[in-house]
Amino acid sequence: MPARKSTPRPTPKPRQRVRGSATGRPIMALLDLLGRRMSLRILWELRERRLTFRALQAAAATNPGVLNARLKELREAHLIAHGDDGYALTPHGQELLATFLPLHVWADAWAKLFEKGPRKARRPSRPTSASRNGVRPGGSDTSA
């Protein structure tokens, strides 16, 4: 049985139907684009320098077919540009990565929770019926 060829999906764009959103909300289009294989890795590899196709392929450890597809999409999305000396982030692509830096810092802190071994999750305390009704323990009313 021959291998089934997949039809390439169009580049996700705001206000067009994308995976997970019939309305194409901008955040959903962005998440669809960034969720595609190697998209984030390519952006990450271009964060500090321009790279030729071959250098980017080696840095991202991907095959030429996937790299070509993602480069096309990221160019259409105005996140990267191609010049004589290779690929680079556009100002819009640089801004996107800057918005990811706080998430990167958060993820590093989150990962530290797992370095000390599994912890038992603490349940948040549940409000008592008295506190839900505005009564403090001891019977005093919280309304003044």
Burial 100-126 (b: 16+ CB within 10 A, else e): eeeeeeeeeeeeeeeeeeeeeeeeeee
Alpha helices in the chain (DSSP H): 26-34, 39-45, 53-60, 64-76, 91-115, 129-132
User: Cα–Cα distances in Å, from 74 out to 42, 53, 102, 110?
Assistant: 9, 14, 22, 29
- Output the CATH code of domain 38-109: 1.10.10.10
> Could you tell me the two tokens for 12?
């996700």
pLDDT digits (tens, 9 = 90+) for 85-133: 999 999 999 999 999 889 989 999 999 999 876 555 556 656 555 544 5
Tell me which of 19-23, 80-84, 123-127, 139-143 is least confident. 139-143
What gap in Å lies between CA 31 and CA 39, rounded to an integer?
10
* Whole-number pLDDT of residue 139: 47
> What mean pLDDT value characterizes the chain?
82
Tell whether pTM > 0.75: no
